[in-house]
Structure 1
Amino acid sequence: MHPGAAHGTEDTRQDAVVPGRASPARADPDAYVDAVLAVTDMIPAGRVLTYGDIAELLECGGPRQVGRALSRSTRDVPWWRVLRSGGHPPRGLAVRARAHYDDEGTALTLPPGPADPEEYRVDLRRARWWPSEIEQAVVAGLGASLRRAGQ
């Protein structure tokens, strides 16, 4: 189960519709959640994507919709592998996420000297994952299905 609604507060951008993307308001919310969870399940241990990366891969919605989808989830998914922009862990979940990052060997950037346990970032340059061609085809199918349903 996803640990809470705080996961969807990752970004200060507006929920604007991006040209070429279906309006998230028209997409079936349950289908969108399923698509986001499917992509999240594809992310390997020690690797990450941002909320915006998932929206880009699906070509539907935006970072806030992805966060909302994760926060609505009742399914057990590796939520810690989906980050806010800049490599920040989900708001309010940094300590819980850190245990997962340490267990999986996820590349982190730590501040020098003593720091609060929440003061770290995932090193996106080293930890960001991008799907293989076969995985991209699966994700493209999910996104196409969402866009068809939203028309």
Structure 2
Amino acid sequence: MTHELHDITLVVNGRSHPIRVEARRTLADAIREECGLTGTHLGCEHGVCGACTVLLDDQPVRACLMFAVQADGRAIRTVEGLAHGDTLSPLQKAFIEQHALQCGYCTPGFLMLGTAILEQNPDIGDEELIEILSSNLCRCTGYANILRAVRAAAAAMREEGVA
């Protein structure tokens, strides 16, 4: 049985990736396999864990629940796009400094979710921040250090005049 292939362009971290995919190909699989960007992790593949979180037009989405054809021509950001050269983003630095990762499997999803939070509302209150961060699952850290890391990144961004 053959499946029709669709020519699409995924614009990931500012770079165009013209690819051919079946309509049923997930965005996560296309990013990993066709674009070669393996920082987007697949966990549950049911949209529950958040390991596959990427930013689509600056909004966090579960890449395992989206078809690649739905993202054709739209701006996608993955964890590989957070650093600028050798300079880590404030959130990446804070994750290291606050010990907000252990096994690291969930980290890309948390970094992308945290990036969206900081870009949309750097002065977010703790209650709302906890609610949003709890949408991603971590089996190792207990979330306290992840919360501290997002808070530290927000403070660093304010100091730098970014937020």
Q: Which TM-score bucket, shorter chain as reference?
A: under 0.3
- When you count strand as a share of all residues, which structure comes out higher? 2
Larger radius of gyration: 2
- When you count helix as a share of all residues, which structure comes out higher? 1
Relative contact order: is structure 1 or structure 2 higher (C-alpha 8 Å, sep ≥ 6)?
A: 1
TM-score, with length taken from structure 2: 0.26
TM-score, with length taken from structure 1: 0.27
